[in-house]
Structure 1
């Protein structure tokens, strides 16, 4: 069998086209990384990004890149220290426990909606984040319930990016 240059180029082009199509299909399986960070003197701590839009079935990995602090990623859920529900009602709660520098923790999100989370020792300093999975319902759910904000520190409440900002930008960094 004789292989001509035209056949090789055709196969190469077909391979590239197939790879680009499969790349789009795999996007929902990519891991989104959220870094836990802080100033060296401990005067400011944060999640980066603080807001992110993902697809159902996508995994988020938090990694502590703050050499001077331990952090948690903890869902606002009654199962976690009696905190108000700020995740979809059917979603599973999570709590990473304390992560030392360079340790990580992952969660795969399957239920559509808005998920708020915080760092247990730094919630009072506004170390919170918001993940939107898919397209959240325009009305209903925990976001309209006054009780969902009861007991949260003012610094935490002020730090959350809006759903609209996350939907528009897909990724919101700490201001």
Structure 2
């Protein structure tokens, strides 16, 4: 479906946010070429990055998770790329997963200690406009890298607003290291998921992804044990195998949240989800905990643009009370 001129929830929230706080966000039309060239290709081997830069302008402080799910384990920063205004403080917070991590500036502007314990933090205030590239020393070769674009003019790739987290209904609560959200993979015709990832080979990576309708997801086996991929809704089921390089694919046409699991290891938390399109249940709040004010601005900017009646017709009569 062509949504370039259509009033969709995603598009209206983006437009409404511009009216509320004066921000312009580009449409999410990422391509593999754009991903590779953005930020001088720095994130092209970062497995969770889908070519999107999260818009955190207008916020004084933002949190980035260290040791998030990705890159074959808990070897990612979440989000991997964001744009902020000069004077913004970023706080990196450790999840306690994936072993010891640190945060090191490529330009030598900052370097944290290496921590393993959950809840440890490190912060840095970005005063000058530009692009800051950083990494985790122990896991840089695995793709554990990030970018902070300081100043709106320095953002590259597709700039996207904070969005509500998908509500998985508790389905992924027992997945080791999973902290919510879905890896952005919109604008891609084909998306890969590793089968048998993680330290024990009992995870899908990424655990959850967000794709467009019509996207084909290709699961590829790592060779770490015998696994299969089974839809909770009986949409698909692969054979069980431990063969490295084996693949299974399915094209998702219906919007919503599609849950799946590995039959032999479901009880150990080997589960995943594919979020498709714009119409899916969400949690109250935002991907980043410090984004609640931004979300409110998006909603009420949209109301100002459309009027209450039009907003409620599109989003539901109870939508304004959720904030």
Q: What range is the shorter-chain TM-score in?
A: 0.5 to 0.7
Partner-residue secondary structure (3-state), 1:69: coil
**1:150 corresponds to:** none
The runs of 5 or more residues in structure 1 that have no matched partner are 1-23, 80-92, 138-161
C-alpha distance in 2 between matches for 1:107 and 1:174: 25
The runs of 5 or more residues in structure 2 that have no matched partner are 1-20, 22-56, 164-181, 185-323
- Against the structure 1 CA distance between its residues 58 and 126, is the aligned structure 2 distance closer, same or farther, given a 3 Å change threshold? same
Greater share of helix: 1
Which segments of structure 1 move beyond 3 Å, counting only runs of 4 or more? 170-175
Partner-residue secondary structure (3-state), 1:163: coil
**1:164 corresponds to:** 157
Greater share of strand: 2
Describe the superposition over 1:115-163 as per-residue Cα deviations: whole angstroms up to 9, x where unpaired.
11000000000000011111346xxxxxxxxxxxxxxxxxxxxxxxx82
**1:99 corresponds to:** 115
Q: Please give the residue correspondences for 1:67-78 in structure 2 after superposition, counting only pairs within 5 Å.
A: 67-77=97-107
The answer on whether the counterparts of 2:101 and 2:116 sit within 8 Å (CA) in structure 1 is yes
Residue 146 of structure 2 is aligned to residue 129 of structure 1: yes
TM-score by length of 1: 0.53
TM-score by length of 2: 0.30
Partner-residue secondary structure (3-state), 1:66: coil
**1:37 corresponds to:** 67
- 1:66 corresponds to which of 80, 96, 111: 96
C-alpha distance in 2 between matches for 1:171 and 1:129: 17
Cα RMSD for the two superposed structures: 2.7
Q: Please give the residue correspondences for 1:104-119 in structure 2 after superposition, counting only pairs within 5 Å.
A: 104-119=121-136
Partner-residue secondary structure (3-state), 1:62: strand
The answer on whether the counterparts of 2:75 and 2:98 sit within 8 Å (CA) in structure 1 is no
C-alpha distance in 1 between matches for 2:62 and 2:139: 22
**1:57 corresponds to:** 87
How far off is 1:66 after superposition?
2.7
How far off is 1:64 after superposition?
0.7
C-alpha distance in 1 between matches for 2:142 and 2:94: 17
How far off is 1:69 after superposition?
1.3
Structure with greater contact order relative to length (CA < 8 Å, sep ≥ 6): 1
